[in-house]
Amino acid sequence: MTPFALLLAAVGLSTAGELSIPHEKYSLENGLEVILAPDDSTPIAFVQVWYGVGSADERPGLTGFAHLFEHLMFQGSENAPGEYFLPLQEVGAEVNGTTSFDRTEYHEQVPSQHLPLALFMESDRLGWTLPVLDQETLDNQREVVRNERRQRYENRPYGEVRVDLHAAVWPEGHPYHHLTIGSHEDLEAADLEAVRAFFRTWYVPNNASLVISGHFDREQTKALVEQYFGVIPAGPEPPAIEVPQARIPESREIRHLDDVPEQKVWMVWISPALYAPGDAELDLLSSVLSDGKDSRLYRELVKERQIAKDIAAYQSSMGLGSMYYITGTAAKGHTTDEIVGAVDEVLAEVLGVAQPTEEELEAARARFEVGFYHGLSTIAGKGYTLSAYNHYAGSPDYLQRDLQRYLEPDAAGVVEWGARVLRQPRVVLHVWPEGN
């Protein structure tokens, strides 16, 4: 067996035909999608329930609801009252949940013998949260979320940059115009019936997937899934998102003075959605531009001109469209205007007379491959990957195609997509210390 094949076998990947995470997918009668990925390498099991609801699904005036439910659904359910964490943490589980623009997920990693407990807990909050959702719980968790907004965005340096950029990049009415945290006004105005209606719309088996990876008996687990989740009735089909055309009509510069220590700048363009054509090419371009001390932007702005303390190019990929960022901090005695000018010069070169070399692209591909396999090296990483592929790509069988997206593009393809995106209008946000 080759060293590469040994590596794949070590992380539990199938190399028969296409590269894949061995799994089985089926659906319950109520529409819940179930993905089982056995892996006996360690006596733990990972459980993840992925709901097709994020802040992109919120209506104007009702922002922050998806993230609010991330908190509410840890407050107990009818048959498992009290703090959701406690019964699981008592058996050594790792428990958490996250919300994004496109989805909400909850997960537990437990010793294998406690898999039934994890399945029971997840099923009970899907089927029996509403009976215990009262005004006191809503008021309490609403304040928790509002404090989180203050701590993460309002009371930290540069904290409101993402709020400002999303509002500037995405037009009014676009699902990404507001952040997942929501606004104070909408959270304060939320009444109990509106919150319950949001749950009834989105938290239904036919808008969810259940992934179980790790050490478990397949037939026993199927029986448990049917026992706990099969009795939950399907709900109405959730409404489809209406997505207005997303484009920045003309380039804009925004300048803010704030209580911050240094001058920083963010340059942002709209780029292709996750897994869409061009998404991988722009990730490769980002690596050429700013990964490592010999990357184009770092070498020019930090090492040679010394006008920036740091510089980074990256893409925030999302399901309905993405944001391509170049961001930097001005060195002492220099300004963010100098950074913007130098970035434009480097972009003109890399998309023109000094295109990425094969050596640069090979290094970019290698960086991606390292991260790609590292993400599959754990039970949880495999489970999360299957959930993401199932949601965004429509099938958990996307591993080989995902890898190929990064191995196939040549310099011409990378430059073509870089030019398509980075020669379009953009938003540039400067944040300077007060007094500048």
Give me the phi and psi of 338, to 5 degrees please. -65, -40
- 7 located within any domain: no
Question: Does the pLDDT of residue 4 top 90, yes or no?
Answer: no
Res. 3 pLDDT band, cuts 50 70 90: very low
Reduced to 3 states (helix: H, G, I; strand: E, B; else coil), residue 109 is: strand
Per residue in 341-353, pLDDT tens?
A: 999 999 999 999 9
Answer yes or no: do 28 and 140 share one domain. yes
Q: What is the DSSP letter of 237?
A: P
Answer yes or no: do 90 and 156 share one domain. yes
User: Do the beta carbons of residue 406 and residue 283 sit within 8 Å?
Assistant: yes
Res. 12 pLDDT band, cuts 50 70 90: low
- 247 located within any domain: no
Calculate mean pLDDT across residues 253-275: 96
Q: Shortest CA distance to 343 belongs to which of 300, 287, 292, 310?
A: 300
The confidence score (pLDDT) of residue 369 equals 96
Per residue in 119-148, pLDDT tens?
A: 999 999 999 999 999 999 999 999 999 999
Answer yes or no: do 282 and 328 share one domain. yes
The confidence score (pLDDT) of residue 6 equals 41
- 11 located within any domain: no
The confidence score (pLDDT) of residue 243 equals 84
Question: Does the pLDDT of residue 15 top 70, yes or no?
Answer: no
Answer yes or no: do 196 and 259 share one domain. no
SS (H, E, C) 152-209: HHHCCCCCCHHHHHHHHHCCCCCCCCCCCCCCHHHHHHCCHHHHHHHHHHHCCHHHEE
Give the H or E element holding residue 354. none
Per-residue burial over 149-168, b = 16 or more CB atoms within 10 Å of its CB, e = otherwise? beeebeeeebbbbbbebbbb
Answer yes or no: do 195 and 335 share one domain. no
What is the residue whose two structure tokens read 């709209």?
Answer: 270
- 50 located within any domain: yes
Question: Does the pLDDT of residue 207 top 70, yes or no?
Answer: yes
Answer yes or no: do 281 and 429 share one domain. yes
Strand partners, 330: 308
Q: Shortest CA distance to 159 belongs to which of 258, 56, 270?
A: 258
Reduced to 3 states (helix: H, G, I; strand: E, B; else coil), residue 236 is: coil
Q: pTM score, two decimals?
A: 0.92
Question: Does the pLDDT of residue 333 top 70, yes or no?
Answer: yes
- 381 located within any domain: yes
- 8 located within any domain: no
Q: Which of 195, 229, 263 is the last residue before a domain boundary?
A: 229
Answer yes or no: do 312 and 389 share one domain. yes
Rounded-to-integer distance, Cα 270 and Cα 245, Å: 11
Cβ-based burial of 346 (10 A; exposed 0-12, middle 13-18, buried ≥19)? buried
- 6 located within any domain: no
Q: How many domains does the chain have?
A: 2
Answer yes or no: do 147 and 46 share one domain. yes
- 339 located within any domain: yes
Answer yes or no: do 123 and 262 share one domain. no
Reduced to 3 states (helix: H, G, I; strand: E, B; else coil), residue 254 is: strand
Task: Give the residue numbers spanning the domain of 278.
Answer: 252-433
Rounded-to-integer distance, Cα 175 and Cα 328, Å: 27
Question: Does the pLDDT of residue 240 top 70, yes or no?
Answer: yes
